[in-house]
Amino acid sequence: MESKWMFLAAAGGLVALVLVVMLPGVWRGVLREGGTPGTRRRSLLAAVALALGVPAVAIALYALRGEPGALDDERGVLSAALLQSGLPPPGEGAEQLYAELQQHLGKHPDDPRALVLKARMDMRADRFDAAVLAFRGALSGKSKAVNDAGIWVEYAEALGMAQGGKLQGEPLQMVEKALAIDARHVQALDLAGSAAWEVRDFAKAAMYWKRLLERIPAGEPRHAELSMAISRAEKQARLSLPASN
């Protein structure tokens, strides 16, 4: 509230300064140009309007935005971070960004990009419940995040960690949403296989991991690890078959 009145006072002072300093000179110029009284009056009004243009624009911006920050780049570090694909490195810069995120979301609580960035920073800091709330907010409404399989996967991971590392229930539902968007999404397939293994559905775990294996180059260490996991799942599936009568 105090900043509001300070801004309005400054704008009013700028208007007064323009009128006091510039108006006499403007009037003398109009008189030198001559013309009829009506012409001189119109010239004076036009000159005054032009002179007041800068403070008028400032006041109009304030009226539209409702805060002095409308004249500045209010996001700072936030704007740059929102355009980056990754998180800032840990440290003072990250703490500053998180503080700006909190402030930004206080004004714009439905900003999906800011919510996703906050959720990722919460995940990195093991604030899983906070990450769940942020992802949930980002995925509500009509934002582009709703069509991003990767964000649904991140949401599933946050939910899983918030409930002690278990994927059953809501986390698995989020994984299924991700696969409905992209049936070949690497992380979604990995989590779906892990969720199936968790409930001893070894055949389904092997099925998901085989689909995942197709996405991993043969020379990578992950390919060999996943191949062994598939073999174990298939073996467990055979051992879990009911005995024949």
Same domain, 138 and 36: no
Does a structural domain hold residue 184?
A: yes
Q: Is 219 helix (H, G, I), strand (E, B) or coil?
A: coil
Number of folded domains in the chain? 2
Q: How many degrees, rounded to 5, is the angle at CA 219 between CA 214 and CA 224?
A: 70
Examine the fold and report which residue of 49, 68, 87 is the final residue of a domain before the chain moves on: 68
CA distance 79 to 66: 20
Span of 49-58, 170-179, 219-228, 234-243 with lowest mean pLDDT? 49-58
Q: Is 115 in the same domain as 59? A: no
Which domain, by its residues, includes 232?
A: 96-239
Tell me the two tokens of residue 199.
């409930």
Which tokens in the block code for residue 209?
A: 């991991």
Assess whether 46 and 106 both reside in one domain: no
How many angstroms separate the CA atoms of 88 and 104, rounded?
A: 17
Rounded-to-integer distance, Cα 178 and Cα 15, Å: 57
The verdict on residue 29 lying in a domain is yes
The model's pLDDT over 5-15, given as tens digits with 9 standing for 90+, comes to 454 455 455 44
pLDDT at 27: 44
CATH number at residue 185: 1.25.40.10
- 230 within some domain: yes
Q: Do residues 161 and 100 share a domain?
A: yes
Q: Supply angle C-alpha 150, 114, 93, rounded to 5.
A: 105
Per-residue pLDDT reduced to its tens digit, 123-139: 999 999 999 999 999 99
pLDDT in the model for residue 52: 46
Distance of alpha carbon 175 from alpha carbon 152, whole angstroms:
7
Same domain as 129, residue 26? no
Within this chain, do residues 100 and 64 fall inside the same structural domain, yes or no? no
Q: What is the mean pLDDT of the chain?
A: 76
**Residues 121, 192: one domain?**
yes
Kindly state whether residue 82 falls inside one of the protein's structural domains. Answer: no
Q: pLDDT tens across 162-175, in order?
A: 999 999 999 999 99
- Whether 74 is in a domain gets the answer no
Residues 124 and 199 in one domain: yes
Instruction: Tell me, yes or no, whether 174 lies in a domain.
Output: yes
Is 83 part of a structural domain of the chain? no
Instruction: Note whether 109 and 201 are same-domain residues.
Output: yes
Is the per-residue pLDDT at 17 higher than 70?
Answer: no
Instruction: Give 241: exposed, middle or buried? Use CB within 10 Å, 0-12, 13-18, 19+.
Output: exposed
Indicate the burial class of 104 (C-beta count within 10 angstroms; 0-12, 13-18, 19 or more). Answer: buried
Residue 244 is assigned to a structural domain of this protein: no
Are 39 and 101 within one domain? Answer: no
Q: Residues 134, 220: one domain? A: yes
| Same domain flag for 102 and 64 | no
